[in-house]
Structure 1
Amino acid sequence: MEHENPEYQLHIGTPSVEDYRRLREIAGMSLKSQEAAEKGLPNTIYAATIRHQEDTVAMGRVVGDNGCFYQIVDIAVDPAHQGKGLGKIIVSSLIDFVQTEAPDSAYVSLIADGPAKYLYAKFGFEPVAPESIGMAFRVQRS
C-alpha cells in the first residue's frame, strides 16, 4: 500500500456484511438492510478494504456487468481515520483494477457526493452534465 503509515493495510476482497453496513452508517451514507447487503455483496466484481489493527476502516467496490459497464460504489472511510489518504488509496486500487481488467470501450461511472468530486477528478472522472444527469430511486418497503 502506498501509504506512509504501516498501521494500515490494504486488502483486496469484499467487506463482510457487518463491516459494510457499519462503515456505510458511520460514514453518513444511506443505510442498507441486512438482506440487501447479503444479496448484493456477493455480486461485487472487485473490492478493496483497509484495516487498522483488526478493524476494517475503509472500503470501496466495483460493480457492474464486468464488460460494458462498471460503477464505483461504497467509498467509505471511518470518520476516526479520515484525513489520512485512505479514500485515495481505495479509489486508486479500484481504478487500477478497472484500467487493467476492463475491456476497451468500457464505461466507468460513479456518483460523487459533495467534495468527493475533487478526489475522483484526480483519477480522470469528469461531470457528465449537461449532456447527462444521474438519476435514481430507492426501493422502500414498509
Structure 2
Amino acid sequence: MVRRYLLEHNAPDIDDYLRLRADTGLTPKTAKQAEPIFENSWMWVRAIEKDSGQTVGMGRVISDSGWCCLIADMATDPAHQRRGIGRAVLEELLSEILTSAPDNPYIVLLADAPGRPLYQSMGFVETAPHSIGMQYVPDKTPTQ
C-alpha cells in the first residue's frame, strides 16, 4: 500500500461507512440499519489518507468469537482504488483473525464480482458445490 495511507483498527464514522458503501456499489444502507454494526462487529480496519484524514477504505469481521468469521463491508473509495488499499485491509483482517481466533477458523465472505480477483489472489475459493451462499427474500417465499 502506498505510504500516503494509514491503517487503523477502528471503524469509520457512520457517514463514511454509508458513503463508502454507496460510492463502491454496495447495497445502500440507512443510518438506522448501520448504527448497530459499530458495537456488534468483532473487528474493523479502516484506511485513511494521511494528508486529508479522509477514510478511503474499510473492512470488518463479524464473528462468534469461536470458529466462524465473516468478512464484510470491504470497500475502497473509487478515487483511491488500484493502490493496494483493499489488499492491505484484507491482509490486516486475516492476520488478526489468524492470531486471535481459535485454531482453524472458518473464514468466509460474499464476493461481489469486482472483489473476486483480490479474494482469489489471497486464497479464497468458491465453496460450491459443497455449499453455496443463500439469501432470504420474503417475496420469493412459496405460498401454500
Q: Same fold (TM over 0.5)?
A: yes
Aligned match of 1:124: 123
Aligned residue pair count:
137
1:9 alignment partner in structure 2? 6
Partner SS state of residue 33, structure 2 = helix
**Alignment of 1:34 onto 2:35:** no
Q: Does the 8 Å contact 1:24/1:31 carry over to 2?
A: yes
Encode CA deviations 1:110-138: one digit per residue, 9 max, x unaligned. Answer: 01111422211222211110111101136
TM-score, length basis structure 1: 0.90
The 2-side partners of 1:56 and 1:134 are apart by 30
Deviations 1:41-68 (A, max 9, x none): 2111111111112110000000121112
Contact 1:95 1:123 in 2 (8 A): no
- Cα distance 1:65–1:84, how it changes in 2: closer, same or farther (>3 A)? same
How far apart, CA to CA, are the structure 2 residues paired with 1:24 and 1:40?
14
Question: Residues 69-95 of structure 1: CA distance to partner in whole angstroms, max 9, x if unpaired?
Answer: 110000000000011111000100000
Tell me the equivalent position of 1:22. Answer: 19
Q: How many Å separate the matches in 1 of 2:137 and 2:55? A: 27
Deviation, structure 1 residue 37 = 0.7
> Which ranges in structure 2 are unaligned for 5 or more consecutive residues?
140-144
Q: Which has the larger radius of gyration?
A: 2
- TM-score, normalised relative to structure 2: 0.88
Q: Which residue of 1 aligns with 2:100?
A: 101
Matched ranges for 1:3-82 at <5 A:
3=1, 5-52=2-49, 53-82=52-81
Instruction: Please give the secondary structure, in 2, of the residue aligned with 1:21.
Output: helix
Counterpart CA distance in 2 for 1:121 and 1:130 is 17
What is the root-mean-square deviation of aligned Cα atoms in Å?
1.6
- 1: CA distance between counterparts of 2:75 and 2:137? 20
SS at match of 1:109: strand
1:138–1:8 distance in 2 versus 1, CA, 3 Å: farther
SS at match of 2:108: strand
1:24-50 CA deviation, whole Å, 9 max, x = no partner? 000110011111111122111111111
In 2: Cα distance, 1:125 partner to 1:33 partner = 30
